[in-house]
Amino acid sequence: MTPDAEVRIAGRALARAGLVHAYGHCSARLGTGVIVVSPAAPLGLVAPDDVCPMVPLDGPLPATVLGEVRMHRAVYRSRADVGAICRIQPPAVMALSVLGRSPRAVHGFSSYFAGGVPMFDSPVLVRDDAAAEAVAELLGGAAAIVLRGNGALVVAPDLRTAVCLAWYLEDTARTELAVLPAGSDVCLLTADEAERRATWEGGLAERMWAYLTAGDREL
């Protein structure tokens, strides 16, 4: 599968899962200094023949690329371990964020975020380099960062894992929101529980990818 095809498929998977709508984008690292990003269009409407732009990590951002791709570039420059990024608009994560909360390690799927999910405390679109670099700095070594009232950014070594983690992050937020009306705090995973649970053995990412991309026209 070509890198641009995988980006298109990933984008449509995020849309089918309700993690993006008219807005949202994803990208993958192609090699030293270059990434491929989804088209500037609703990801669920991206067609197999739509071109995924190649974007340099340095220099001016191409005019045809969405402004928030600056966040992708800033993260790739600061994290050599990141090979893919999903910029998502998940509703439960969004709801938690306006309460001033980011998802916590409360169940199996959230164990992958046990180190914490930082929150960028601004609802303003990240469309300048200074803000993008601030997001990357706050992300640090985490797997995701919440943008208050503005969705989230999820990072991983590859696109399939990034899509999987995007779904996990939203499920974490859904679970925490579901128990909030009970009026007592959730039972957080211990460090040992999270470490033992956050495994990728058994093809966990591959199975979630298969589930989310089932029926895609490019597969």
Give the model's confidence band at 8: pLDDT under 50 very low, under 70 low, under 90 confident, else very high.
very high
pLDDT of 185: 74
Residue with the two structure tokens 């993690």: 19
Q: What whole-number distance in Å separates Cα of residue 165 and Cα of residue 110?
A: 9
Contact assessment for residue 80 and residue 16, using Cβ atoms and an 8 Å cutoff: no
Total Cβ atoms within 10 A of residue 122: 14
158-213: pLDDT as tens digits: 999 999 999 999 999 999 999 888 767 778 899 999 999 999 999 999 999 999 99
pLDDT of 131: 96
183 Cβ partners below 8 Å, 6+ apart? none
- Collapse the DSSP code of 137 into the 3-class scheme (helix H, G, I; strand E, B; otherwise coil) and give the result: helix
Q: How far is CA 148 from CA 62, 74, 90, in A?
A: 27, 19, 12
Averaged over 23-45, what is the pLDDT?
A: 96
> What percentage of the chain reaches a pLDDT higher than 70?
99
Averaged over 90-119, what is the pLDDT?
A: 95
Averaged over 139-147, what is the pLDDT?
A: 98
Question: Crossing angle for the helix pair 3-16 and 204-213, nearest 10 degrees?
Answer: 70
Residue with the two structure tokens 């959730």: 186
pLDDT of 150: 95
pLDDT of 94: 97
For the domain covering 3-213, report its CATH number.
3.40.225.10
Q: What whole-number distance in Å separates Cα of residue 40 and Cα of residue 26?
A: 10
Give the model's confidence band at 117: pLDDT under 50 very low, under 70 low, under 90 confident, else very high.
very high
